[in-house]
Structure 1
Amino acid sequence: MVTPQRELLGCEEGVNVLVINDEVCLEYDFEENRPVVTVHPFFTKVMKAHQYEGVKFMWDACFESLSEIAAGRPGGGCILAHCMGLGKTLQVLALLHTVLTHPGVKMQRVLVCCPLSTVLNWVDEIHKWIGPVTNQIKVFELSKLKKTYERAYQLEDWYNGGGIFIIGYELFRSLTTLDPFLDDVRPTIINKIRTALLDPGPDIIVCDEGHLLKNDCSVLAVAMSRVVTKRRIILTGTPMQNNLREYYCMVNFVKPNLLGTYAEYSNRFENPIMNGQHRDSSDEDIKLMKARTHILHKVLEGCLQRQEASVLYPYLPKKHEYTVFITLTQCQWDLYKHYLQNYAKQSKQSILKDFHILQKIWSHPQVLHNFQTKARDRAEANKLLKAEKLEDDLATEDVEDIKPNVSEDLWWLDYLDGGSMLETLDSSNKFVVVFRLLDECIALGDKVLIFSTSLFCLDGLEYFLKKMKNWSLGNEYYRLDGSVPAEVRQKWCREFNADSNTKTKLFLVSTRAGCLGLNMTAANRVIIMDTSWNPAHDIQSIFRVYRFGQKKDCYIYRLVAM
């Protein structure tokens, strides 16, 4: 339906956003016939139609209008659930620039919470997009400050002077839960931190990769919910991963009580929707499921906007996905059978452990050897595990904390010619395929990302890169896992993406540490060594390269041993 106002302003059918003189109009004064809140043309000129709608959606959900702000209303929150690679960061920065520079909005402090690996990426993006428009907005982050009192004073500077503060989730959790006695921190320091982060805290909070708040009982989710502001924006490419409970937790964070208590939500939506999805569901169950799904969709219309990857297709080159089935070598078969006959237990408890060890076998015998003998000393392995656990709350089952079988005999060496086959690439067809793919990609001038859920698998790849190609870390290839500091990650990502860098061909990435929020468009080929339990991980991995900024066709190779 075309309203007289829309007709008067000449709005296009199907586009819900008005653009006047290259400025996206967020609010229009019909009495004075002029726009009163607009997005700067610097953003508008590079944004696509779906991004106009995203900015307008966030403005409507969090601020609504200047009169609402003037009346002192607390505002609301929303979930921007655009698929990975659709430019959510740019949309948020366009909105933040608008509300921080508009005199009628009176926003001063913005807090951006994100995974550790993307903190410095946010800093870069702010300088890239907001820097050319204004130098009045200060940007703060804590990667170089290690002492609690230094961090407290930095937070105080931001709280008093305004600007955008970027902080990793884990650091936010630890700072907001400090205890003067247990942590031996002065109460004045703790008060500074809590004043800045929680109460009164920021004017608006943005949670990047907000699906990490999927468990409302986790310490992180509890800490985040203590932030006083009601203007909360969640950014996520994968809002729905495992179940409807996670969905409820995210919606409840941005719009408390919109869906009632969890028990009410469960009775009204979760149970009927789940009941209609079984093979033996009755027609009545299916009918009820469809009705409740429709109602839930309508209830969330004002606070959740979803855009699928299909929006990208007109703007990007093609994406080709291949699943490559690779047979095991004879020695891998022998190891596989030996493990199943002698060590695998027929119990639910051990199936995950067995899977992890078999996964090492079908990667490469050397990966199994390093895992079983714990080539890294135990303390360092624990430190790495801890770092990776902090890094990503997405899938605890994915964390490599399966302990090896403590056996005195090195049984696997019997099948490996006394150990000499550990040193040869031919012991694993999967590694042979990876190196052949790598050679072909380099010949074509394409850069490659290799994702693996196992740190030991990445160690094995590094060993053969050095042995066979004489490559060195930091020159021909980079590696990103939970142990790499944030500033080094950002430096390597920047160098890898630089057009002038023709030397670096490969980036080895731990799936848990590197699948979120990174921009790796210099590469156009992705090799997934081992499929993750959580499909969202693999989807996130693919969209590191298939996103705005990609100029070449993308090729994705999933390697499956059989």
Structure 2
Amino acid sequence: MDSVHPDLLRFLKEHQKEAIKFLFDRVIGKNGTVTARSGAILAHCMGLGKSFAIITFLHAVLSNDVTSKKISRVLIVCPKNVIAHWEKEIKNWIDCPGRRLADNIQISCISSTSKDTRFYDVRQWSETTDKKQILIIGYEMFGNLIKSGGEMKNFLQNPGADLAVFDEAHRLKNDESIGYQLISKIRTYRKIFLTGTPFQNDVMEYYNIVHLISPKLFVSKDRFRKDFSLPIDKGRSKDACPGDVKKMQVLCKVLYKKTKDIIHRKGVKVLTDEIGIEKEEVTFMVRPSKLQKKLVEAYLNRINPETGKAPPKNAVKDHPVVSRILTHPSLFYEYEKTNPNKTIQWMNATTQIDTQNESSIELSNKLMLLIQIIKYSEKVGDKILVFSQYVLTLNFIEATLKRVSEEWKNQSKNGWGWSRGKDYLRIDGGVDSYSRHAYQDIFNKSSNPRCRLLLISTKAGSLGTNMIGANRVVIFDACWNPTHDIQSLYRVYRLGQTKPVFIYRLVTSGTVEEIVYNRQIAKEATGHRVIDEADIDRHFTREELKHLYRFKYVPEDEPPIIKGNFNDSLTAIVAVVSHDSFFDEFNEDEVSEDEVSKFEEIYDNKK
């Protein structure tokens, strides 16, 4: 750690120090000899401060007289919505008042600037010799500039950077994607891939990332699939026999050993031990309102008036429609008014809404419970994040807050209502990277207790934001891909958090929402491919698909189960279920070294 500046060293945690030493040995060379020309994967659990570890490492490399002679141009490729995060974090740590450590380091960002400006910035990064250069660019822009050919391709790909960092590297899991192909062809030898604890859902994704760094580690992709991927998947299935489970455990340990010199792993236990705060996750199983019940039943049993038959079942298309109903009936009606299809024809008088009462929150128990949670958070002085995967849902929640604002203001001890920009903020796909971080700064200020709610689009805002000003999170609707929901809770459960964290999932009981939620928490969730929205039907059996279209209503006279401080919503809650997003990590003690060595010998003899 001799190359690390003391002003940065004092902030490093032990796992970050380990990571920096690992990167020096693997990417630079032992004892700073600059003899290594290889890559590494930093696979640290979300919230452990990978960005700071990388910034400290890059500063050490670019500031050292020996290493900087061979490494002076650094490229950081990341999702476009975290470009501002990287720029801000780098400047916060090495170029801020009281810590001016970047006198000879120039930081540039390529975003949606003009073509001429982009060319100038990239050329300056590539050709400037009097200063060390860090260029930050989004994945899409990086690919587009390389595909444009000419000098731009040479700058970025051939010869490219002296050292390249790829953030959110799980984006590169598909070796047939254009992005993967472009990155596999860059001439940069020193590559660092950053990800949360990776590839536990698809072993072939594991192979693809490792192949970018060490293409000769495994014999071939087909051999890897046969020797590792297929038997591991077989051992993870819910009906696996004990022999298959044991083989899976041995193979996981073999993979761990074969890649330990490439991948630096730190799991969730390090995070929980480091921050030392309580995390409580609960799922509220919510009863649908009577109108929601009628609408869902009518939709699931609808008949096409032109054919006289039920339309083909399509989970991808039907799930968002049902979700609109379960958010609030008026959302569905509003959608149908502007939708060209004819599903409106299956509705009858029993499912019509009273136009004078169409926005009442009493038509949605989930919405009523959400308001109760927000009220309680305000009462105890906690800030809260609310995630939804649908922009329409965020719109409706926002509209609801505005409708109740005056009444809320009169009842609030602080006289606060719901004014956007003062009482709450919103992050969705329409908010650029720099605005996100401006919102983050506003929201996280402890001196600004009035700004106490942040509405977030799950996919747009579950990455690259640090929202430790909040300690409560509501996941309003579960995603098919559980990774998105887990990433959401890491916005508050991370290094720097000082208050107990509370996570609330709202699931409408007896509906497709409960099916999706159960799918998330089933044991096989860690052993099967994460479901992409486009592949939903392919990942369910016919019998499982039938369950997606069944509706089980829990009568109101059935006693609710409740704990907490949401007494006003007792009749709306069917059950409260404890939840833990942190799956157990692989236990190395489950297999012996003899078992591992035996398989390694068999595998090596096949080469």
Q: Alpha carbons of 1:243 and 1:508: their partners in 2 closer, same or farther (altered >3 Å)?
A: same
Q: For 2:303 and 2:316, how far apart are their aligned partners in 1?
A: 13
Pair 1:57-2:27 in alignment: no
Q: For 2:382 and 2:218, how far apart are their aligned partners in 1?
A: 48
Number of residue pairs matched? 484
Pair 1:252-2:231 in alignment: no
Q: Which residue of 1 aligns with 2:322?
A: 358
Alignment of 1:38-187 (within 5 A): 38-65=3-30, 69=34, 75-105=37-67, 106=69, 107-131=71-95, 132=99, 133-143=101-111, 146-161=113-128, 162-178=132-148
Alignment of 1:457-476 (within 5 A): 457-469=393-405, 471-476=418-423
Alpha-carbon contact 2:279-2:501 (below 8 Å) kept: yes
Alpha-carbon contact 2:38-2:189 (below 8 Å) kept: yes
What's the offset of the Cα at 1:471?
A: 2.3
Q: For 1:343 and 1:51, how far apart are their aligned partners in 2?
A: 59
> Unpaired segments of 5 or more residues in structure 1?
1-23, 26-37, 179-189, 375-402
Q: For 1:423 and 1:293, how far apart are their aligned partners in 2?
A: 53
Residue 491 of structure 2 aligns to a residue in which SS? coil
Alpha-carbon contact 1:416-1:422 (below 8 Å) kept: no
What's the offset of the Cα at 1:420?
A: 3.3
What's the offset of the Cα at 1:55?
A: 0.9
What's the offset of the Cα at 1:68?
A: 5.4
Q: How much identity, in percent, do the aligned residues show?
A: 35
Deviations, residues 292-341 of structure 1 (Å, cap 9, x unaligned): 22211111101112211221223322111111111111111111111111
Q: For 1:141 and 1:294, how far apart are their aligned partners in 2?
A: 40
Residue 328 of structure 1 aligns to a residue in which SS? coil
Q: Which residue of 1 aligns with 2:491?
A: 544
Q: For 1:67 and 1:43, how far apart are their aligned partners in 2?
A: 18
Structure 2 letter corresponding to 1:480: I
Deviations, residues 407-447 of structure 1 (Å, cap 9, x unaligned): 46483785243433421111101001111111111122211
Q: Which residue of 2 aligns with 1:237?
A: 196
Q: Alpha carbons of 1:502 and 1:67: their partners in 2 closer, same or farther (altered >3 Å)?
A: closer
Deviations, residues 155-188 of structure 1 (Å, cap 9, x unaligned): 111112241111111221222222xxxxxxxxxx
What's the offset of the Cα at 1:405?
A: 4.1
The two structures, once aligned, show a CA RMSD in angstroms of 2.2
Q: For 1:81 and 1:168, how far apart are their aligned partners in 2?
A: 20
Residue 523 of structure 1 aligns to a residue in which SS? coil
Q: For 1:295 and 1:222, how far apart are their aligned partners in 2?
A: 28
What's the offset of the Cα at 1:130?
A: 1.6
Q: Alpha carbons of 1:153 and 1:522: their partners in 2 closer, same or farther (altered >3 Å)?
A: same
1:312 to 271, 277, 297: 271
What's the offset of the Cα at 1:282?
A: 4.7
Q: Which residue of 2 aligns with 1:181?
A: none
2:258 to 299, 307, 314: 299
Q: Mean alpha-carbon deviation: is it higher for 470-479 or for 410-419?
A: 410-419
Q: Which residue of 1 aligns with 2:507?
A: 560
Structure-2-length-normalised TM-score: 0.76
Q: For 2:343 and 2:19, how far apart are their aligned partners in 1?
A: 57
Alpha-carbon contact 2:197-2:265 (below 8 Å) kept: no
2:440 to 493, 500, 508: 493
Alpha-carbon contact 2:84-2:434 (below 8 Å) kept: yes
Residue 509 of structure 1 aligns to a residue in which SS? strand
Q: Which residue of 2 aligns with 1:480?
A: 427
Alignment of 1:316-465 (within 5 A): 316=275, 317-342=277-302, 350-374=314-338, 405-407=341-343, 409=345, 411=347, 415-465=351-401
Q: For 2:439 and 2:241, how far apart are their aligned partners in 1?
A: 55
Structure 2 letter corresponding to 1:52: K
Residue 323 of structure 1 aligns to a residue in which SS? strand
Alpha-carbon contact 1:83-1:309 (below 8 Å) kept: yes
Q: Alpha carbons of 1:349 and 1:407: their partners in 2 closer, same or farther (altered >3 Å)?
A: closer
Q: Which residue of 2 aligns with 1:508?
A: 455
Deviations, residues 528-552 of structure 1 (Å, cap 9, x unaligned): 0011111111111000001111111
Structure-1-length-normalised TM-score: 0.81
Alpha-carbon contact 2:105-2:133 (below 8 Å) kept: yes
Alpha-carbon contact 1:425-1:431 (below 8 Å) kept: yes
1:531 to 478, 487, 494: 478
